[in-house]
Structure 1
């Protein structure tokens, strides 16, 4: 489903709306073509009682799914903020007395830039195996641990440096784990089938109506189409149209570049 969730928002909205409207039109024409003339009076009798059930089923599935995906997007934003906070702690820890802060700040800046350039892409975001980012974080680890091991630094400061570095790597791992998560395909299939069944049932109700009267089902089709478009837009915060914001990390990059974390 990655190819679908990575489409631009406009393509998702237009695509699902067109599909929903085509299904509505096909349902109206299909009932006329498939139902024998002698049984057409029974179609409204069957379709009408089904509308509340299908409508409630789609509404429940859509509400639960969209609420879950919106919560996941907020959680993803929180993970990025936690990673930025960990990077800030490391940058400040590097300014402790007798610590050579410049190598740490340079390595941290390279890592954050590589993260924003490479790990905000679909494949690298979920796997965490981008070579450029791996090299920069390995260099950052070696730089921090080498500085923490210097006798002049002292145990408390060395411990703070290592703990801050561990916070950066732990936050990155949490972000990568979150980026690899996907909506269960069966859940999506159930929601799509429920929505399309609701549209088909609506089309069956108006198969005898005039074309103008039949336009009433456009509202049902539009709601279903927009709901499905929103679902796919929300379900991929690292490679979809609604990308998780990297602003917290960009702020740390700006602070490191400007010397904000340097000595007074």
Structure 2
């Protein structure tokens, strides 16, 4: 399913609409071809009562699926904010008396720039095994723990440094885990089946109508196609059309470069 969620937004929208329109056209043609002439009068009698039920079912499934994936996107943005907050706490902890902040600031800046460049999008975001990022994390760990181990730093300060460092690495682990999220297959199957059933039923209602009148089904097909496209677009915040913003981390990078944490800005 990851290949589908990685498509551009335009491809998802066009593909969803094409599938929906094709289903509507095949439904109209299929009813004419498959239903015996003597029974065709019964088709509207059967299809009409089903429309409210199928419409409600699709609306419920779409609302549940889209709300779940939209909530996941908000949670992903929260993880990035948490990582930026942890990086900020570490940068401020490095300004404590007796702490040599330059090695920590340099290692933290290298880590943030590397993770933004190397593991923010695509498969690298979910794997978490980029060599350059691993080296940057190791450098940051060594720099912070070396300062925390110095006797003149003091217990309170070394605890603050280590706890802040753990916050950065824990936030990264949570982000990497979240980047591996995929929309549950049952969501997709249920939504597609209910949407196609709604489209087919709509096509059955107008199978005897003129082509111009049958275009009324386009509205139903458009809603179904766009709903599916939106679901796929929302479900992969590090691979799909809606990439989670890295602005919170970029702001910390800018502050480190300007010397803000050291009071030199």
TM-score, structure 1 as length reference: 0.98
Which residue pairs with 1:72 in the alignment?
A: 72
Deviation at 1:153, TM superposition (A): 1.1
* 2:79–2:174 contact (8 Å) kept in structure 1: yes
Which residue pairs with 2:241 in the alignment?
A: 241
Distance 1:10 1:31 in 2: 32
Deviation at 1:249, TM superposition (A): 0.4
Which residue pairs with 1:20 in the alignment?
A: 20
Unaligned segments of structure 1, at least 5 residues:
none
Which residue pairs with 1:260 in the alignment?
A: 260
Distance 1:241 1:181 in 2: 15
Which residue pairs with 1:93 in the alignment?
A: 93
Deviation at 1:122, TM superposition (A): 2.3
Which residue pairs with 1:187 in the alignment?
A: 187
Q: Secondary structure at the match of 1:161?
A: helix
Deviation at 1:125, TM superposition (A): 1.5
Which residue pairs with 1:171 in the alignment?
A: 171
* 2:183–2:232 contact (8 Å) kept in structure 1: no
Distance 2:183 2:34 in 1: 36
Deviation at 1:259, TM superposition (A): 1.3
Distance 1:94 1:121 in 2: 30
Distance 1:242 1:106 in 2: 31
Q: What does 1:110-121 align with in structure 2 at a 5 Å threshold?
A: 110-121=110-121
Deviation at 1:51, TM superposition (A): 0.9
Question: Per-residue displacement from partner, 1:65-89 (whole Å, max 9, x unpaired)?
Answer: 1111111111110110000000000
CA RMSD of aligned residues (A): 0.9
Deviation at 1:257, TM superposition (A): 1.2
Deviation at 1:127, TM superposition (A): 2.0
Distance 1:130 1:115 in 2: 9
* 1:83–1:168 contact (8 Å) kept in structure 2: yes
TM-score, structure 2 as length reference: 0.97
Unaligned segments of structure 2, at least 5 residues:
none
Q: Secondary structure at the match of 1:243?
A: coil
